[in-house]
Structure 1
């Protein structure tokens, strides 16, 4: 048995980057900052998110820098060669489910909706 599920709650680090393809597919990417439980380390952990389809459309419409979101997804590793021919890689979370939560100025309750691909 194998298991690859990631659950995170954090704040968008930038406004989402959206790409529309000729096929009609939509891709949305943005990083989120996730605070650690211990207050010793003030620096958050950063995760790059990638979402497709209806979830990407919702994120592009409602998520802005500083907006709190909850996600469920799968960890994947993007690999490529840089200009010098060196192999590079980075972890990316492929989001299956997006939940819009309170923004910085709002109370910490859930205020948005819960979106998953092809659920419309």
Structure 2
């Protein structure tokens, strides 16, 4: 079975990149998605992970507060604190990443596959 999640939200912090012993780049960051129901606003946080060339792109261009489009495979991570309190979070293994915002902010997309060339596209605004 395969499942996928798509979110649009804001980066909660600057990304953190590291390299695995085999040289693979891994970048982690959080994304907040705000939803409104009447007068109530709810924020859902997602832990996002990018790999390879995509990880390097995320680390290079994403900053705290920036709006971002994320698509990937979700996984529920659960753990118990030392005090015995249970915790859970939704983690997303990113398959598609796009920065959102004004034309001046640009548009950056990293295609699937670590060896695929990086792409930079302009917004398709007709003016």
Q: TM-score range by the shorter chain?
A: 0.7 to 0.9
Report SS of the residue matched to 2:42.
coil
The aligned counterpart of 2:97 is 98
Instruction: Give the TM-score of the pair, scaled to structure 1.
Output: 0.79
The within-5 A match list for 1:1-120 is 2-79=1-78, 82-83=81-82, 89-102=88-101, 107=102, 111-118=106-113, 119-120=116-117
What is the root-mean-square deviation of aligned Cα atoms in Å?
2.5
Cα distance in 1 for partners of 2:110, 2:38 equals 31
Equivalent residues of 1:12, 1:66 under 8 A apart: yes
Q: 1:17 to 1:39 in 2, by over 3 A?
A: farther
CA distance in 2, matches of 1:110, 1:42: 27
Aligned length: 115
CA deviations 1:14-56 (Å, max 9, x no partner) are 0001111221111111111112153522232111111111111
Structure 1 stretches (4+) deviating beyond 3 angstroms?
Answer: 78-90, 107-110
Mapped partners of 2:104, 2:39: distance in 1: 25
- When Rg is computed on C-alpha atoms for both structures, the one with the higher figure is 2
TM-score by length of 2: 0.75
The higher-RCO structure (CA 8 Å, 6+ apart) is: 1
